[in-house]
Amino acid sequence: MSQIPPDAQRNFLVVDAKTETAEIERTFRTFTQERKDIGVVLINQHVAERIRHSVDAFTDPFPAVLEIPSKDHPYDPEKDSVLKRVRRLFGE
């Protein structure tokens, strides 16, 4: 079976209340470890909370993983894994 070229694959996942955490986890892993055509992963912070262990464990510089707010969930900088790493670098 031939592999689907990256430009023919979806580069997003729409998450709602019915989306299983395993699917979010699988997609995050695919976007960050398997796909080489993705440079930035934007993830709503409340979705990142569902797979926090994976988001926090991903430390590679590329793709960049950025947690963003959603219209229904405010952004909390204390939960942002990138900001936590930056604070550790600067000894905060």
Which DSSP string corresponds to 25-56? HHHHHIIIII-SS--EEEEEHHHHHHTHHHHH
CA 57 vs. chain centroid, Å, equals: 11
Mean pLDDT of 13-29: 97
Residue 2, in any domain of the structure: no
Residue 1, in any domain of the structure: no
- For residue 16, the enclosing domain spans 12-86
Residue 80, in any domain of the structure: yes
pLDDT at position 2 is: 53
> How confident is the model over 80-89, as pLDDT tens digits?
887 877 788 7
pTM of the model: 0.81
Number of domains in the chain: 1
Residue 6, in any domain of the structure: no
The domain that holds 80 is classified in CATH as 3.40.50.10580
41 pLDDT band (50/70/90 cuts)?
Answer: very high
